[in-house]
Structure 1
Amino acid sequence: MPPTVAAARPRAARTWPERLFGRWWRRQSAAHQDRYATLGPLFSVLLFLAAIISAFWYLRNEEFEREQEAVKRDTEISQQQLRLRLIENQEQLVRMARDIVTRGIERQNFAAHTSSFVRDRPEITNLIWVGADRSRIAGHAVTTFLPESGVTSDDTPASMPALRSNAEPERTFVRGRESRQTTYSGPFADSYGHTVFQVQVPLFERSTFAGALIAEYSVERLVRYYVPSEVSSRHAISLLDRQGRALASTVMTPAGSPPRRGAINHEVPLAPAHNGLVLRGQGHRTSIGLISNTLFWMVAALSVLTVWMLLGTGRHMRRRLQMQAALVSETNFRRAMENSMLTGMRAMDLEGRITYVNPAFCAMTGFSDADLIGQRPPFPHWPRDRVDENRRLLEQELQGKSPAGGIEVKVMRKDGTIFDARMYVSPLIDPKGQQTGWMTSMTNITEAKRIRDQLTASHERFTTVLEGLDAAVSVVSVQQGELLFANRSYRLWFGAVAAGHALLSGGQASSSGAAPVGEAIDESVDDLGGLPTQELTDAGSDSREVFVESLQKWFDVRARYLQWTDGRLAQMLIATDITERRHAEAVAASQAEKAQVTSRLVTMGEMASSVAHELNQPLTAITNYCNGMVTRVENNAIDKGDLVAALQKTARQAERAGQIIHRIRAFVKRSEPQRQRAYAHTIVEDAVELAGIELRRRNVAIHTYVAQRPPPLMVDPILIEQVVLNLLKNAAEAIDNAHLPTARRRIELRVLPRHSEEEGDTIEFIVTDHGPGLKEEVLARLYEAFFSTKVDGLGIGLSLCRSIIESHRGRIKATNLYNGETPIGCRFSFTLPVETSRSDAPAAATA
């Protein structure tokens, strides 16, 4: 038989409850199945405990019923024995009474006839023959007394009926006479204090009442002799009166203590007397109750312990499920993070076997994880012609001797193509602190290397062009006077020193107000005060002619301020030899000199126009206050208080103008980065005040928000102000060039504290505009050097901003804001790490 048929037959043979339960069980989730699996044993234990309790209760009740039946049976056996004895005695007494009536028994021989009767019946203590007048005719008493007691058998008055007496013998005598039947009396105490009862047989002679034959029973002897011994050995049998007092019992009780009532009782009347005497059988429970049953408590304790263990196991399982869910969530998060990484990750054990690759690594190489995991060298992604080199690098990697800067290698894809990659190696440490392998991160640097090669080639072409120029090109740092660049013509004429640059720029002081580059700089006097760096770098070149006496040459010198690659403010000079042209233009020298002066004045006016516009308001206010005071003084219409108030307002306006100039001078004064403890709100205030000139000129509003009490920063505040100012000016230019309506001509500047696992505690600066946004191709090349979307832009502003932020260990990014698919603005943001402690300040300053 095939295995499938054999497996299908038991499945088909299942009953419908099993199939229904199976379908229901398969529909449950794993969590519900675990919960039901946990609760099942708990319910089983509880059901087991309930079954044990029910069994104990049933057995106890069954045993109790058996004991009740035994007591009832023994009581009824005793009743039957007493009943038979009383009936037998009654028949003998009736026969004896008949003999007395028929004169078969005379007074003289009464004792002889009754002695054998009394001798065989120890329960009868007295036998009396009384007449109709209640007189004693004859009697036979079996009670014996000691001679010294002085009591005789005739001294039994308590047993005799007495006229007008309410005693039991009298009441029984009357009932027998009236009923003409044998009558039993109730129990009473005889003359000796013994509890007895009488049976009286009435004597009738020719329908005339002639007296009665009285037999007196001892209650104690009746119980002693006629309750079976096997019954008395099992249960206590007692005779009770109407009031429930025990008259006789098979169990002796201490004197003066009431008889103890048994747990099981059964009462029957004493037949055929029916004189109020009750025969009671008493039994005591031999079964142990549930509360005192040791076995029950052992089972209960074991059940409680099992329930407690099951509850503990269930709680432990819930905790494990929670931990498992947390582990699964953490694993999924880490897997999602690893899968979303663009960097390829590869893990190897200590023997060089690949144990893990992430999707990025597979995407780079084209091999699947099944093709790579478990592979030993040579790996499938090694180029065939570089196996030996890669094996050497792998051995170096396994020995932990890989350089910290990574290794540049060639990697082969599955389709055979080769690409350049940089690999970084770090050890894998398990929770016990032992190394289990190596983790390799791989980045595709083909594009970066191509760009680097292009930049190198571009730099070489740029240098070749500059070296081939007949003009002298030189770049000198404004503050330090250091020669940053000089081409072949400059080195041929002036050597590799900055003196020639200073000589060529010596005439600039008359036009720009700047001291010759390279001379000693007095920090107390700022020759560039009032001129912002951005305005200097945006200004066009100033062409002038300089005569160098040592060379006897005239040079056409063009100067331009720019920010060097390290952020310093520098001056570039392009000096073209115009000696021959100078001699040819000697006739027009005077007019050229005038044109040069005019050009310098225009250039100075362009640079100072924004400052003059900003100073116009406070200076106008000062003029108005002064004119007003002069007029009122001439008319004697001003008192001292008004004069002081007007002078104070004038002083405030003058102070405001001075603050504007001071801020502009402070902004352009320093170019060497100097990190210090700074606060975000101070940086924002200075930057916004400097940017306000450009914003007001372009009719753009700005809204700022700085979080209260942000942590301090360890930065160069001037450089950070330059970044904020650059972003604000770019946003204003984007809004103005887009000719947006007034409602959208606004910029938002927000400064908020942030925390992330990657960067830690940072301060985030966010500049948001509502302009047209940036194109995707512009976003991709936004920070490339010399790339600009402006017609007259140099393309170094954002690149310089990125360099400044990254030098402060921060990050800068730009994103578009969308309404659906339509861009409605752009958001630039950068983060700066906060100062965590005083000890971090030196480290930050040297970073």
Structure 2
Amino acid sequence: MPSPAPVPEPDTLVIRPLAWWRRWWRRQPPTRQDRVAMLAPLSAVLLFLAAIIAAFWYLRLEEVDREQEAVKRDVEYAQQRVRLRLLERQEQLMRIARDISNREIDPEDFMGRAESLVSQYPELQEVTWIDDRRRITASYSAPSVSSSQQRVAGDVLRMGDTEVIYSLARDMQQPVFSQPAANPDQPALLQLHIPLSDQGRFAGVVLGEYSIDGLLRYGVPTEVSSKYAVALLDGKGRLLAGNTVPATRNPATSLLPWGTQANEYEVPVSPVGNGLIIRAQAYRTSLGLIGNGLFWLVGALSVLTAWMLIGTWRHTRKRLQAQQALVSETNFRRAMENSMLTGMRALDMQGRITYVNAAFCQMTGWSEGELVGRTPPFPYWPETDRESLAERLTNELSGNTTAGGFQVRVKRKNGSVFDARMYMSPLIDARGHQTGWMTSMTDITEPNRIREQLSASYERFTTVLEALDASVSVAPLGSEELLFANKLYRLWFGSQTAGHLQLVAQAGVPTRAPSDESLDDVDSFAGLPTGPLTAAQSENAEIFVPELGKWLEVRSRYLNWVDGRLAQMVIATDITPRRHAEEQSAAQAERAQSASRLITMGEMASSVAHELNQPLTAISNYCNGMVSRIRGKQIAEDDLLAALEKTARQAQRAGQIIQRIRSFVKRSEPNRTLSSVGDIVDEAVELADIELRRRNVRLSHYVAARLPRLMVDPILIEQVLVNLLKNAAESIDNAQRPAARRSVELRVIPKHLDELPVVEFSVLDSGQGLAPEVMERLYEAFFSTKAEGMGIGLNLCRSIVESHQGRMHAENLYNGAEIAGCRFSFWIPVSDATDSVATRNAKVTA
């Protein structure tokens, strides 16, 4: 039975084709080998170009889909923003309509609320109250609306689309948006009719008119309008606002790599419906330009690569021919030519000069003919150094060479002298025998001068650091070696690194890398990015050193030491006098706050007396009445109890007033606790309302619901609010406003400033405002516009707010060119963000 054929090993299957290819290659003539060596890379370049074209085609289609999806997503996002803006304005107008239906506001109040809406939201152009007979009750227009388009109270609603939508709102009893129409003579407007109801009967509408252009400008996000040409269109596709991009593409070539494709998307804006459409068009797509550019770039590079391959092949053939002629050049001549900047001198075994190069002649000023063949003493030796130079030359010729060279003085032909460093080494011929000595000479006059300047600079630098009033120390990271310490550091901490490490530890600056060195004996700072560390700003902290009994301001930064190690420099300055001054300033500020509250209550003394007079008078009347009726035996037990209860309530009311005033003016240490904003506002309003009622000023306050608690001293915040409310009442009184305009508004709302949650307190009055020169000196100490004022109220208010990591701001309110009042506002960060605010302010101060 025949044996089966052996199965070849896997390695044999790989080696056999390689061996066959090697044998075939060796049999080919050199010309064919060169041709294959050139055509193979060229074919690879062509295949690479074909693969790039296919990849561009595929990436082009993928990128088109991604861009279209991005446009759709951005347009829908912009549509949601515009929709939310319309719904928010609709809700605010419906709130006004509800108050009108409930007869809670009159036309004058309507004008005030309409003015607030129009000034706060730029897209809202006009708000009008129209009764059930189409007669305009009240209307407020934005300053940008022309007088011809403004509606006047008492006029009848004009005919046109407005009357049609008015009737539709009356019939549907629901808010109705009008369909905006493109009018080249007037800007496009969007109207919202909100019906009014009087006990189930139609009572008119509240008409709000929006500017389409303002709706586009303030409703569309900036990130969308910066990338696309955004426009608002009516139901027939006519442009209402925005801009469009003209279509310059060819649809037939839009799917080709070198073509372009339209990239736009539109969607109706609810709740307006199909009458208002938002459309976005990409300004340009990167596909046509980038795809086309990359395609031709790759093509050009491929052609260039093929051309360079052919040129390299030809150049290689010529280079091989030239290399045959250059092999015979001696290494000695090449070394001499490469050392033209260094003076070279060759001596024979007896010390005679056999060769000098041009650089040596240029240094000494002697020509080659004047030097070759000369024996010691050489002409470039100075007369005063000839004995020492001759002795050194003898030692060098005997083989006692100096490995690091030696420094000598060399005389030029013109008599000038310069410093040089010489290195001598044996000159070995091609057979390995020494035929002499080779000397290289370098001019070190300039390096010596620089070294002397650096030494003098170091001495000056050391003198300055030793005379500093601050302790300066430098130590490498992860080591207890002290690289530098000035005089004051040595006086405070000695010459060890303990003081340096103590300052760094108390200041909270990291000194070691977060690595476990117990596993491997490696440098913990290996691979540490020293560039960002040494370029970073210095860190500072204020610490107290018990051993010295001093407060020190510690500043540290990283630096690269002269030997390349990463080191840390610490500068400690004595700030003990400054800290004592700050403590005294804080104590004086506390006393000034208590004095300010006493001054405020002193100014309100007459109002407080009047407020207390009412419950005290009521108590006296109740008591006299009960005494008379008891004497006449004309009072029943129930009547007596009722009278006593009323007397007790009046006494309790008087006690509350006195207790509130005592807690306000009581001097105490600052006590910051988590406090309720509503309680603070209620206490401040109760105190300030006495003064406001005396001046016949109305006070309205609004506190937003679910406000977070604040980490503040409630008495100090009450002091700020009382001061601002009292100043507002005095401003109104000085301006002699009529009774209808004598009002102060206090608003407390949450806000976000720089992504930080805060609570904003604002006081708005209708007084005479602030003059520019007063605005500049508003918070200046002891500056006041009142004859009896001390000028410390607003200064203390700002100090109190800033001590709570807040800020205070004042601005005038305008009605056209006329000042309509003033607005003082300040904000306090919420309790969970107070620490981060303090940290950020500390960094800014540093």
Fold shared by both chains (TM-score > 0.5): no
Q: Which structure has the greater CA radius of gyration?
A: 1
TM-score by length of structure 1 reads 0.31
TM-score by length of structure 2 reads 0.31
